[in-house]
Structure 1
Amino acid sequence: MNQRITLIATFWLLASMAWAAEPPVYTGLLSNTGAGGYDTVGYFTQGKPVKGSPRYTAEYQGATWRFANAENLAQFNANPEKFAPAYGGYCAWAVSQGYLAKGDPQHWSIRDGRLFLNYNQSVQTSWLANTNQLIREADANWPAVLK
């Protein structure tokens, strides 16, 4: 009887995980690190992707964020909404189209003080060709696209 109960409980647990909404931050399959471990403050202060360190981390929206140094960590902690990527680091172009895809920290842009990640270079080229319209569409789809 205990095996049967365990089997049923396991089935419902797996089924509920399959039907659950996506997390608000893209972290990859076997990770809990936002932005692929890149320092999101670095995009704003250094104008390029900078790898974060496990030594400087913050928790925000259920993910761990890494930073290159204590100063960037402090800036993030003071205003995480400013430095976290839009749409939780999912591909901004995909969100504008009504679905989710991974955001790649190497394919990024900043517009109106917001950091956007895209899936790859081809998608980023499409994003940059019509950014303002795509931001409006992505904003309208977010966060409903997580469901």
Structure 2
Amino acid sequence: MKNIFILLLLLTSSVVLAQKSDYNTKKGYVADGYDVVSYFNNTVEKGKNEFSTTYDGVKFKFSSEKNLALFKENPTKYVPQYGGYCAYAMGKKGEKVNIDPETYEIREGKLYLFYNSWGTNTFNLWLKEGPEKLKKKADINWGK
């Protein structure tokens, strides 16, 4: 009985760790704590501690109770692609690169986030090099 308990504990721990590694939670929350629903209203808003939830083993913040409720109704609609890592880096090299939460694109109803720092704006590179091609590569790389 004790061995079964230990086995279940190990399996549960590995699933939780696997889920967390699939998300960019460098600052403790997906999208650096920005409200992922707000992007779909063409705004970028920081989330507030009082409007937070956990989905798929990671934490999300929202700017309002309304946005929190919208997320809870359909979380897969709002979760950023590639776990909130830079879409360009995932497409170009299959790398998990941190993002600037204020650099984003909504494409075909999905949220894509990008790195934008130190003179490099990967959203501009994404557009220049072809989002359709990079998205296909990113989908393949993310699957690995």
TM-score (normalised: structure 1): 0.77
Of 47, 53, 62 in structure 1, the residue corresponding to residue 48 of structure 2 is 53
C-alpha displacement of 1:106 = 1.1
8 Å CA contact 1:37–1:65 kept in 2: the answer is yes
What is the correspondence of 1:1-147 to structure 2 with a 5 Å cutoff? 23-28=21-26, 31-45=27-41, 47-96=42-91, 97-120=93-116, 122-129=121-128, 130-144=130-144
Cα distance in 1 between the residues matched to 2:69 and 2:143:
27
Q: Which is higher, the Rg of structure 1 or of structure 2? A: 1
Aligned with 2:37: secondary structure? helix
Percent sequence identity is 38
1:10-53 C-alpha deviation (Å, 9 max, x unpaired): xxxxxxxxxx877111011xx321101100000002x0210111
8 Å CA contact 2:104–2:111 kept in 1: the answer is yes
Aligned with 2:21: secondary structure? coil
Cα RMSD (Å)? 1.6
8 Å CA contact 1:25–1:89 kept in 2: the answer is yes
C-alpha displacement of 1:63 = 1.4
Cα distance in 1 between the residues matched to 2:56 and 2:86:
17
The residue type paired with residue 143 of structure 1 is G
Cα distance in 1 between the residues matched to 2:143 and 2:68:
26
C-alpha displacement of 1:89 = 0.4
Cα distance in 1 between the residues matched to 2:94 and 2:45:
29
Cα distance in 1 between the residues matched to 2:143 and 2:123:
21
* Runs of 4+, deviation exceeding 4 Å: none
* Residue 12 of structure 2: aligned partner: none
TM-score (normalised: structure 2): 0.79
8 Å CA contact 2:114–2:121 kept in 1: the answer is no
Aligned with 1:140: secondary structure? helix
The residue type paired with residue 32 of structure 1 is G
Aligned with 1:142: secondary structure? helix
1:70-118 C-alpha deviation (Å, 9 max, x unpaired): 1100111111111011001000011112111112211111100010001
Q: How many equivalent residue pairs? A: 122
